[in-house]
A and B are shown apart, each in its own frame.
Chain A
Amino acid sequence: MVDVPVSCRSREYPLFKEKDVKILVTAKRVEDPESKIKVKPDGSDIVREGLKYKINPFDEIGVEEGLRLVAKHGGEVVVVSIGGKEVQEQLRHALAMGAQRAVWVNHTGALDQMGVAGLLQKVVEKEKPDLVVLGKQSIDDDQNQVGQYLAEYLGWGQATFASKVESLESEQEKSKTPALQVGADGKTVQVVREVDNGLATLECQLPAVVTTDLRLNLPRYASLPGIMKAKSKPIEELTPEKLGVDVTPKVQVVKLASPPERKAGIKVPDVATLVDKLRNEAKVV
């Protein structure tokens, strides 16, 4: 580290502005988990009327991580969402959190994971970010595929399920330090991944695709000044046609059904009966 005279320090950026980073994050519109989801009687869709929506929580973690990286390195967070004009609500939420601008891909028909990844690929090629940070999955249908497809389409490295060693109660978290480590030369990113038996650390060449897990950070609230500023931040409108992407779904939803209702449990008189039932009926011990 070289000592920099105090007069050179700016408030917005840290002592060392290593390199501006440009980060593309996503903001999918999903059903609010507090809403009650009902399947239409004909199984064609869920009942959407009166449902509440919000930004996919995993994407929100991605927005937060992008904001932290930009606070550390300087640069820009661009947020993208795909859908009808109602997705502007989620874009505004990300803008209110602090993202600089938004891209809205206006499309109202059905989309599968390849369609989404194809659209994101074109947005990435247009925006040329150093890093794409998106949720590992969206909480509506929990597919966990778009990040991986996107990396493949782009021919970029990928680090999925980004997490961190520090707890969400730690000083690291309280000081809003980014968990993703962009190398000093701005050419690599180090990602701690959540894997079955613990945490694994990967280093990727930039540009790269990172998908977020739950324990990466606690997203900030949109502040009041942030909400007011979001109104005047630009949202660029694109369409699949403009981007030259054929989004005809290859995967089709045939029918939706609610999971079967859980049957009522039974009470057993003693441990012996329990063991007997576990062994002979459930065959688990």
Chain B
Amino acid sequence: MSTGINTYKTDLREIFFTLFEQFGFDQVVGQEPFEAWGPEEAKAVLQEGYRFSKEVLGPLNATGDREGCRLENGQVFTPKGFKEAWQKLYEQGFKSVSVSPEHGGQGGPMMMQVLLEEMLSGANSAFNMYPGLAFGAAELLAECGTAEQKKLYVERMLNGTWGGTMCLTEPHAGSDVGASKTVAKKNADGTYSIRGTKIFISGGDHDMAGNVIHLVLARIDGATPGTKGLSLFIVPKLRVGADGSSSGSNDVSVGSIEHKMGINGSATCVLNFGENDGCLGELVGGVEHAGMSQMFRMMNGARIAVGIQGLALASAAYFNALDYAKDRKQGAHFTKFKDPTAPRVSIIEHPDVRRMLLDLKAHVEGIRALLVKLAMHTDKARMMAGKDDEQAAYHRGQVELLTPLVKAYSSDQAFRLCAQAIQVYGGAGYCQDYPVEQYTRDSKIFSIYEGTNHIQAMDLVGRKMGQAGGAHFQQFMADVGGFVETHREHPVYGEAVRQLAAAQEGIMSSAMAVLGWSQDAAKVPLIPLSANRFLQMMSELAVGWLLLDAAVIAEKAAEKVSESSPDKAFYEGKKWSALWFARNVLPNVEQAARMMALEDSSPVEIPVEAFGGN
């Protein structure tokens, strides 16, 4: 399948450091429920996953972008090579790493799965949308479906026989999903007739699998308005028999596909359900009016998946820009810039290029650490369930708190970092000869879909901070505080750790301020005005902490390797990532706290007319 050239690149050494050295994968595996797994299996999975990403998915990334998807006679056709890649992906079993053995999976830890997903998405974000959505929909059914639904749908959606989607958005119901107009009418046989239009449905139709199973939010006739009246339905593209055969139209039609800025290999569809009154759905789990809570099971996983996408492209952009900067010669060394006869140097010799690259490196590594930390909490919550309720609750709480950070911070930074990678290249990066312009276009959607980043920020400020009486937030702050106490006088990192402590204090005072605003009707608008800023502050605190944590671990590990070992330079790199972030990003957190204290509400005070325009 040599249709294009792979540009995907990562560093397995860095990935293994995060998994094994920083987050102690070994302490999670080898015991219930991960008794079948050990470090060797994880390494093998990640090595083979990397090879697969480079050899199968990577070559289809640029070609898929240029070719895009086609809608012909109501059927969506994906770019050349996608269908074959889909088959290979499922043959390899890469989509079932963390799936329970009950559904044909390997029951592996999420810590490893998220890193595998990073590589699959990094090599081809658009392609990985399709199996990702099928996965999310299948997981939802595995959790909320009836026994029959689980048996009929889950394994087929996890092994590539069928695709899957989530259908929430409508023309007038995006972030305001409660305004949904799609209706469901109960039939005598217990099925429901579905009628309505959904838009922006990723993977809404494709030619890679035998059927596509849509999970559709709709309002049963007579149900209350708003989100509470919504129910979730299984609506296949083709009618499904009890034996798993697919045949005959279920009156689901593709109205059109969007022409987008990026992820062009991913078909974003307008779907019309029941235009001819022939669209049947079955209620997920047989429960009415539980659509939103059911959908949220999928949304949480999907939000983490978007965080992974952001990390994946930022990391791919970093390694591409790094290679280019080492290779490309232009200009004299800055100490000789006035000498026209001085030899030309690689652009990585220029301070400003190095600044951009180190900023990329630090953010990518820190966001990866944040993601793996979240996954570790997920795994530990599973391990502790039923054994140690208090510990299990702690880990679940951290998952809740970190999910909006991973989704929003990773996706916001991804777009900025990919654009910065273009800047490293200069004009060449703006051209399609290099992959960074596509990474930048592809990454923009990450801050929008699966709940815009403002929705994530409001989730953090309005829900997660106060969850369990504020316990999740307090425990997180205690974890950071413990690190600060231990390392405040560290000979190398002491100053950086004190910077971390200052950032933490800033966040504490901002959190108190937000709490005050919520109790003062006049100041409530300050909450949405400040939520995004606050999410960024929290994320930077978390990333700064984890980078310093990694640096301390690396410093100890470096004592055991010889001067000539490549590991020496690797561990040294951890030091500079942490110091860069502590000196150039953490001070922004303090500054942001000062801005929050100003209680500026000018965006809501300015009259609409005063915005100007005509």
Contact = CB atoms under 8 A, between A and B. Distances in A.
**Do A and B make up one complex?**
yes
Interface of A: 36, 38, 40, 47, 49-52, 89, 92-93, 96, 169, 221-225, 227-228, 230-231
Given A50-B570, A224-B92, 4 more contacts: A50-B567, A224-B106, A228-B41, A231-B36
Contact of B48 (A50, A227, A231): A227
Contacts of B565: 47, 49-50
Contacts of A36: 566
Given A50-B561, A92-B40, A93-B44, A224 B566 contact: no
Nearest to B43: A89
Contacts of B94: 224
Given A93-B44, A221-B52, A223-B92, A228 B566 contact: no
20 contacts: A36-B566, A47-B565, A49-B561, A49-B562, A49-B564, A49-B565, A50-B565, A96-B48, A221-B48, A221-B92, A223-B91, A224-B92, A224-B96, A224-B106, A225-B106, A227-B45, A227-B48, A228-B36, A228-B41, A231-B41
Contacts, number: 55
A154 B92 CA distance: 38
A98 B293 CA distance: 43
Nearest to A38: B564
Contacts of B40: 89, 92, 231
A84 B566 CA distance: 22
B228 interface: no
A30 B561 CA distance: 21
A47 B564 CA distance: 7
A49 B45 CA distance: 23
A229 to B, nearest CB: 10
Interface of B: 2, 12, 36, 38, 40-41, 44-45, 48, 51-52, 91-94, 96-97, 106, 561-562, 564-567, 570
Contacts of B2: 169
A22 to B, nearest CB: 26
B546 to A, nearest CB: 24
Contacts of B564: 38, 40, 47, 49
A-B complex: 4 closest residue pairs judged by Cβ atoms: A224-B93, A49-B565, A50-B566, A50-B565
Contacts of A89: 40
A222 B43 CA distance: 12
A175 B38 CA distance: 33
B223 to A, nearest CB: 42
B48 A222 contact: yes
Nearest to A40: B564
A138 to B, nearest CB: 19
A93 B51 CA distance: 13
A235 to B, nearest CB: 12
A257 B451 CA distance: 58
A49 B566 contact: yes
A83 B463 CA distance: 57
Contacts of A223: 91-93
Contacts of A231: 36, 38, 40-41
Nearest to B99: A224
A176 to B, nearest CB: 11
Nearest to A54: B47
Contacts of A96: 44, 48
Contacts of B567: 49-50
B44 A227 contact: yes
Contact of B51 (A38, A221, A224): A221
A38 B93 CA distance: 37
B331 to A, nearest CB: 19
Contacts of A47: 564-565
Contacts of A225: 93, 106
A92 B38 CA distance: 13
A225 B40 CA distance: 14
A132 B92 CA distance: 27
A41 B51 CA distance: 33
A61 B122 CA distance: 28
A227 B41 contact: yes
A51 B44 CA distance: 16
A121 B168 CA distance: 66
A222 B52 CA distance: 10
A228 B106 contact: yes
A224 B97 contact: yes
B571 to A, nearest CB: 10
B323 to A, nearest CB: 13
Contacts of B41: 227-228, 231
Central interface residue in B2, B44, B91, B97, by most chain A CB within 10 Å: B44
A38 B38 CA distance: 32
Contacts of B106: 224-225, 228
Contacts of B91: 223
Contacts of A221: 48, 51-52, 92
B57 to A, nearest CB: 12
A108 B2 CA distance: 40
B351 to A, nearest CB: 26
Contacts of B92: 221, 223-224
A40 B562 CA distance: 12
Contacts of A92: 40, 44
Nearest to A230: B44
A40 B92 CA distance: 40
A47 B566 CA distance: 9
Nearest to B116: A224
